[in-house]
Amino acid sequence: MRIGIAADHGGFTMKERMAAALGEAGYELMDFGATELDPGDDYPDFVIPLAKAVGEGRLDRGIALCSSGVGASIAANKVAGVRAALVHDDYSAHQGVEHDDMNVICLGSLVVGYAQAWELVRTFLAAEFSGAERHRRRLAKVAALELHGR
């Protein structure tokens, strides 16, 4: 599975730790930055390239971090083909993939601790889209909105 990860200064420390753990777990990982802790950086500069790679199919899944996870989620969802969600619980981490084909998980480093974040990411990466007709129907409506703006 090809995974991307991105964070601004707010999620930088968690991203560095998570990237190391993902590498140790054998995932093919692409790091979109930040590459250094810079309190003046902006989450869209890292999250948008990650989201584009997921939306274009160059990555299977993405992990986006900032202080709250909200900004990362907003930015990622502006990219066609991305279904990002801010996740704080195990149920949403797997159900978001199973029912909604979520392909980017967003986490807030000041909201969840590292151990919980790592568990959420592992749950997200292990989950698979069910492909049920009702879920495909709903996703088609979302995709139509991306194409036609209504």
Domain range summary for the chain, segments of one domain joined by +: 2-148
Q: How many angstroms separate the CA atoms of 16 and 37, rounded?
A: 10
User: Is residue 38 a contact partner of residue 141, using CB atoms and an 8 Å limit?
Assistant: no
Active-site positions read 66, 99
pLDDT of residue 149: 73
- pLDDT classification of 146: cutoffs 50, 70, 90: confident
Q: Fold for 2-148, please state it.
A: Ribose 5-phosphate Isomerase B; Chain: A, (3.40.1400)
Q: How many CB atoms lie within 10 A of CB 53?
A: 20
Q: Is the pLDDT of residue 150 over 90?
A: no
pLDDT tens digits along 38-94? 999 999 999 999 999 999 999 999 999 999 999 999 999 999 999 999 999 999 999
Q: 88: which residues sit within 8 A by CB, 6+ positions away? A: 108, 111, 112, 120
Q: What is the pTM of this model?
A: 0.97
Q: Is the pLDDT of residue 12 over 80?
A: yes
pLDDT tens digits along 14-54? 999 999 999 999 999 999 999 999 999 999 999 999 999 99
- pLDDT classification of 148: cutoffs 50, 70, 90: confident
pLDDT tens digits along 106-127? 999 999 999 999 999 999 999 9
